[in-house]
Amino acid sequence: MSREFSGHWYAPNSNERYGGKAIHQNSTLRLILWKHDNFINYDLLLGETLDGIKLTAILCNRRHQHHPNIETFISETTFEISALLIGAHIHSLNELSELGIAFTFSGLHQWLEYGAKEKPPGQIEVHEYLGRRIPFSLHDEARSERTCFEYHEKSNYVVSFWQEEKKLGSFLNHSYFTELWMSDFLSFVTQQKIFTRDASLRSPRLRISTEMIKPYYNKNASFDDGRILIQFHKIQDRIPSLWEEWCRLETEYRPLIHHHIKHLTTEQLEVSDIFLDLAITVEFYGRKRFSLDKFEPIINRIWEEQPEIIRNFLGKKSSFSKSARLFRNECAHLTPQKPVNRYNLDELKELQLKQIHLCWKLNILCKTIILSELGFSHDEISRMALDPQTTNHFQIPSINSQQLI
């Protein structure tokens, strides 16, 4: 999907106007001006389309420019822009105070409403990651300093983030973490990659809620109810503590979250690549959490902290940790225990199956580590593992030998 906004553009407090267009396409957001520009970057560039829509390009960095060609005698300068504001002009990064951003995420309303008998009501408080306690509420559109879920028309929920902040640039950087961490949180509880669809900037000085576009936004992301790990209505009262712990995890164990979520959507990767990614992640966690240096003792220690049902899924501690260590070493050092050409077809299929199972077991381990860090007890994790709606997240899928090789 791509969007273009053509019109004339100019810097604040400048009378010079130039033709150009802002383009959002394939996770890139750029502004092309038909002019020769000596400036490296601009904090803001203002635009207006032919039908009168006001635009503000925020934090514009010049990437390249083309000199006039023989036919048109027109120069062209291309900027990468951090965000595009649609519907208003902002003349200074220091201009606004009491800013708010409302983010719309793919799958948010499905997660909030899935399994609930009625639309989620009420207001909940949650710790914002800088340490202030702010409300985390539903159905409350009154302006305040808060992060909250709000219900809008057409079953569309948004996550709003407000802050007293006079500098637009630093506020956008600050809100980036709220957006990223919320996207990660939703991806984990639903076990599928959740994207930001769009955002809107809010301020008492803006009469309308203005749309904001960033490069990585994805309006077309799909959602599968069957993959949900944690239903909202079952944890609604725990959102404050879960969000606080999630922000701590993002700060202390970011690689653990990043690699787990990364492999929710990764396709067509070698099993060895996925396994090595997860192994390095678990090793990082173990080194930081237990101050252990070796991979096998780390796996043993994490295995010991698992509920009994998860231990059963993983298998005997010694054999699981040894197999994981050997495969990790093979993947990391490209030194298989036995050359591939010495295996017959049946042996090779059996080897592949073992590697796939190890990969799934390590993925289960990452999942239960995150759940434990969020404050879920052994009993709660065990119930998830036995619940018909979520048990598939803790089991090794059956694989037909015909699918191998």
Q: Structural domain boundaries of the chain?
A: 2-86, 99-236, 253-403
Residue 398 φ/ψ, nearest 5 degrees: -75, 135
| pLDDT number for residue 186 | 92
| Distance separating alpha carbons of residues 87 and 207, to the nearest angstrom | 10
The H or E element spanning position 45 is: strand 41-49
Task: Tell which phi-psi region holds residue 332, choosing left (phi > 0), alpha (psi between -120 and 50) or beta.
Answer: alpha
Please state, in angstroms and rounded to a whole number, the distance separating the CA atoms of residues 181 and 80.
Answer: 24
d(Cα 184, Cα 257) in Å, to the nearest integer?
8
pLDDT tens string 128-178: 333 333 444 433 333 334 455 554 444 456 666 666 655 666 677 667 777
Q: So what's the pLDDT on residue 82?
A: 82
Asked whether 253 and 373 are in contact (CB, 8 A), the reply is yes
CB 197 within 8 A of CB 154: no
Strand partners, 101: 161, 201
Give the number of other Cβ atoms within 10 Å of residue 238's Cβ: 15
* 179-to-82, 102, 162, 186, 196 alpha-carbon distances in Å: 14, 9, 12, 11, 8
Cβ atoms of 55 and 7 within 8 Å: the answer is yes
Greatest extent of the chain over all pairs of C-alpha atoms, in Å: 76
Tens digit of pLDDT for each residue in 100-109?
777 888 888 7
CA dist 396 and 384 (Å) reads: 15
Instruction: Give the global pTM.
Output: 0.80
pLDDT tens for the chain, 405 residues long, are: 678 899 999 999 888 888 999 998 877 888 888 876 666 788 899 999 989 999 999 888 887 766 655 555 567 888 888 888 888 888 887 766 666 777 888 888 788 878 766 655 444 444 333 333 344 443 333 333 445 555 444 445 666 666 665 566 667 766 777 788 888 999 999 999 998 887 777 766 665 557 777 767 776 778 898 899 999 888 887 887 888 899 889 989 999 999 999 888 656 567 888 888 899 999 999 999 999 989 999 999 999 999 999 999 899 999 999 999 988 888 777 566 656 566 566 766 777 788 888 989 999 999 999 999 999 999 999 999 999 989 888 887 665 545 444
Per-residue confidence (pLDDT) for residue 81, from 0 to 100? 86
